Amino acid sequence: MNNPYLPIAATIEEIIEESASIKTFVIRPDEEIVFETGQFVELTVPGVGEAPFTPSSSPSVSERMEITIMEAGSITRLLHGMSPGAKVGLRGPYGVGYPLEKFRGRPVVIVGGGVGLAPLRSLLLALMEEIQLYDTIYLKYGAKTPGDIIYRRLIPEWAEVEGLDVTLTVDGGDEDWKGNVGVVTTILDDGRIDPAKAVAVACGPPIMMKFATSRLLELGYREDEIYLSMERNMSCGIGKCGHCRLGEYYICKDGPVFTWNKIKHVEEPFA
Amino acid sequence: MMDKLFLKDNDYAGLLKELAREGIVYASVEEEGEKPHIRLITDDYDGQLKPASIRAVEPLKALLFPALENVGAYMGGADPGEAKQRAFIIGAKSCDLRSLEILDRVFAGGDFEDPFYIEKRDRLTIISSDCTACADECFCGLMDIRPYPTGEYDMNLSKVDGGFVVDTGSERGAEIVSKHKEFFSGAADGQVEERERNREAISLALEEQAEGLRIDADLRKITSEGFEDDVWEEEAGRCVECGACNFICPTCHCFILSDHAGGKGYERMKRWDACQYAGFTRVAGGASVLQRRSERLRNRYDKKFIFFPALMDRYACTGCGRCVSACPGKIDIREILKVLSSQALARRQR
């Protein structure tokens, strides 16, 4: 019987601290998991339950998966208490990946807020692996404070990549911070980008998604070229359990990424 | 097409007990002064086997999508033993059959299949029957459902004087007839005509009951247009968040997976969940899109009258009225639809 509800066993190989409340888990599943960037998995804490996460590692690596997780609820609290060697479960991948073929030859603007950069890192890695296929890739990332910026060990490398432009901002700086101060919407207006030609991809907390979407629309990005990571409570991941409904869609099956034109009629999509 | 058959009243119990030797038999049974309930019938069952006049209190989904089901073990646990016996349900009504269309779409349709549902569905033979009465809460006509089955059954029984006119609707139904020839004879033309008269009479009774519940417009339209209506807030004020409307509903299919340690490893359970519960859409950190009771009440209607019609051109309400009977707050789906309908009418006249 092909049982869609059960996870395969996996081992946490390494845990990397990204910020006070965010860690990246390097996980090796007993069987390879092949995913497309943008798809998500259900991660099981054995005997307790599972929660959905989008991997933050490259989709071209299937024997190991990295997932960056903020401690926010009961499952993530238990995950944060784990050590390398701990056993977890993985189920998936589910949902629909980013349509990378549609991004080719065009500027790609990646807008991240806080831990929302985690799934975007997977996209970024996928784009970087064939960067010549795209126009410039712009990463525009905002965090609350400099200490909340994740992937601080990786960002300097990304800044060196030809064809990739990185801009960071923080809501509030400290004495060492020399960069932009302000929410992420303040760094979206960029004279180098032609919004009519670009695609924008955003992931972050609901309030940021709401304002980023308005700002992108104001700047002239097309409704069907703004890709938004949507979030709802989720259980089964396969379009049966009814939890993650968003209008006529289930986020687990039709998402988790939607273009704005598809969801703009839904009341309070970012609530 | 096979000629119509006849099953005598006296042979009804005998047929059920014969079937009980072949598999698990559930029958909707109406004991004196009681509402019909689904009972497990064994060949030594000694209760009355009076066929139910209306749908049972229990929704059919309980047989295919149990309230709590072990969906397997992982990382060392033992797999659940599976019952592979055939099963029969006798006395399913037309509204029950419609609910299976919805459940089939959810669990057997889409990109992933639920093997637990499919396996039970495959094992289940459905012997339906015409309604011979209508409960006070019945409003199937509003959902374009007749009070007698029009398809989707293996066998159907229509009560007439002295017995039942029998239709077979599938190979399985025909097999029951060929295997138990002793119970069936040919139906006389008069009996078939009597069945048609009964069907007209019960349809009329339902219509009379629905008088005053004239829903003027497309339910999909009035539900979408009534999104901001005060009715949600007003009605939800009496909701006690018990989830009864969800659990008793034949089409409500929401569930949640929950894990526990079991055997040498872990087990995962699939359990009914209710969108009327405060935690239904709560995410880690505490945020929830359906925070207010009124939003959760509206969600139920949105799902039934907007979501499912878009998905499969069917309302996910069968008009069975179970939620009306079950609600301790006396929230009545018919009243809400009526309010939405009259508001829609008022808007049009403005």
In this predicted structure, what is the pLDDT of residue B82? Answer: 63
Q: In what order do the strands lie in the sheet with B255-262?
A: B68-74, B265-272, B255-262
In this predicted structure, what is the pLDDT of residue A147? Answer: 95
What average pLDDT does the segment A36-55 reach?
A: 97
Domain ranges of chain A: 8-94, 100-229
d(CA B160, CA B135): 20
What average pLDDT does the segment A146-153 reach?
A: 96
pLDDT in tens, B19-77: 999 999 999 999 888 999 999 998 788 777 888 999 999 999 999 999 999 999 998 86
Binary contact (B268, A47; C-beta < 8 A): no
Q: Is the pLDDT of residue B2 over 60?
A: no
Residue B214 to chain A, least CA–CA distance (Å): 27
The number of helix segments (H) and strand segments (E) in chain B equals 13, 11
Structure tokens at B201: 């009479």
Binary contact (A47, B260; C-beta < 8 A): yes
In this predicted structure, what is the pLDDT of residue B78? Answer: 65
Percent of chain A with pLDDT over 70: 100
Tell me if residue A55 falls in helix, strand or coil: coil
Contacts of A47 in chain B (CB under 8 A): 259-261, 266
Nearest CA to B56 out of B44, B70, B39, B43 is that of: B39
By CA distance, what is B115's nearest residue in A?
A: A3
Residue A254 CA, chain-centre distance (Å), reads: 16
Binary contact (A4, B306; C-beta < 8 A): no
What average pLDDT does the segment B115-127 reach?
A: 96
Binary contact (B112, A73; C-beta < 8 A): no
d(CA A268, CA B12): 55
CB contact at 8 A, A86 and A78:
no
CB contact at 8 A, A114 and A144:
yes
Provide the number of CB pairs (under 8 Å) joining chain A to chain B.
112
> What DSSP element (H or E) covers A74?
helix A74-80
Residue B327 to chain A, least CA–CA distance (Å): 22
Binary contact (A235, B261; C-beta < 8 A): no
Residue found by looking up tokens 């009629």 in the block: A265
Q: Is the pLDDT of residue A165 over 90?
A: yes
Contacts of B112 in chain A (CB under 8 A): 4, 238-240
Largest CA distance in chain A: 60
Binary contact (A248, B285; C-beta < 8 A): no
More confident residue, B76 or A125: A125
In this predicted structure, what is the pLDDT of residue A270? Answer: 86
d(CA B17, CA A77): 55
What average pLDDT does the segment A70-96 reach?
A: 97
In this predicted structure, what is the pLDDT of residue B166? Answer: 98
d(CA A186, CA A179): 13
What average pLDDT does the segment A96-119 reach?
A: 97
Binary contact (A4, B255; C-beta < 8 A): no
The mean pLDDT of chain A is 96
pLDDT in tens, A126-138: 999 999 999 999 9
d(CA A26, CA A54): 13
Binary contact (B259, A50; C-beta < 8 A): yes
Structure tokens at B95: 């509204």
Residues of A with CB under 8 A from a CB of B: 1-9, 44, 46-51, 72-76, 87, 89, 206, 231-233, 235-236, 238-243, 245, 248, 253, 267-268, 271
Binary contact (A4, B112; C-beta < 8 A): yes
Contacts of B292 in chain A (CB under 8 A): none
Contacts of B75 in chain A (CB under 8 A): 7, 9, 46, 87, 89
Q: In what order do the strands lie in the sheet with B124-129?
A: B37-41, B24-29, B87-92, B124-129, B155-160, B163-168, B5-8, B184-186
Binary contact (A240, B106; C-beta < 8 A): yes
Q: How far is CA A13 from CA A66, A72, A77, A235, B110, in A?
A: 10, 22, 18, 26, 35
Binary contact (B115, A239; C-beta < 8 A): no
Q: What share of chain B is helix, strand, coil (3-state, %, to 5)?
A: 40, 20, 40
CB contact at 8 A, B301 and B223:
yes
d(CA B245, CA A250): 22
CB contact at 8 A, B148 and B130:
yes
Architecture of domain A100-229: 3-Layer(aba) Sandwich (3.40)
In this predicted structure, what is the pLDDT of residue B349? Answer: 81
In this predicted structure, what is the pLDDT of residue B83? Answer: 65
What average pLDDT does the segment B255-266 reach?
A: 90
Binary contact (B75, A89; C-beta < 8 A): yes
pLDDT in tens, B88-116: 999 999 999 999 999 999 999 999 999 99
Residue B238 to chain A, least CA–CA distance (Å): 24
Q: What angle is formed at CA A41 by the lines to CA A81 and CA A240, rounded to 5 degrees?
A: 120
pLDDT in tens, A174-219: 999 999 999 999 999 999 999 999 999 999 999 999 999 999 999 9
In this predicted structure, what is the pLDDT of residue B81? Answer: 64
Contacts of A4 in chain B (CB under 8 A): 112-115
In this predicted structure, what is the pLDDT of residue B1? Answer: 45
Q: How confident is the model at residue B347 (pLDDT cuts 50, 70, 90)?
A: confident
Predicted ipTM > 0.90 = yes
The CATH fold of domain A8-94: Elongation Factor Tu (Ef-tu); domain 3 (2.40.30)
pLDDT in tens, B186-229: 999 999 999 999 999 999 999 888 877 777 678 888 888 888 88
Contacts of A89 in chain B (CB under 8 A): 74-75
- From the list B111, B306, B310, which residue is nearest A239 (CB)? B111
Burial A195-208 (b: 16+ CB within 10 A, else e): beebbbbbbbbbeb
CB contact at 8 A, B157 and B129:
yes
Binary contact (B257, A5; C-beta < 8 A): yes
pLDDT in tens, A259-268: 999 999 998 8
Binary contact (B273, A75; C-beta < 8 A): no
Binary contact (B110, A235; C-beta < 8 A): no
pLDDT in tens, B277-297: 999 999 998 889 999 999 999
Residue to mutate among A3, A5, A235, A263, with most B CBs inside 10 A, is A5
Q: How far is CA B334 from CA A103, A181, B2, B214, B215, in A?
A: 50, 55, 40, 10, 9
Residue to mutate among B75, B113, B271, B282, with most A CBs inside 10 A, is B75
Tell me if residue B89 falls in helix, strand or coil: strand
Residue A232 to chain B, least CA–CA distance (Å): 7
Q: How confident is the model at residue B130 (pLDDT cuts 50, 70, 90)?
A: very high
d(CA A45, CA A47): 6
Q: Is the pLDDT of residue B177 over 90?
A: yes
What average pLDDT does the segment A6-31 reach?
A: 97
Q: Is the pLDDT of residue A167 over 90?
A: yes
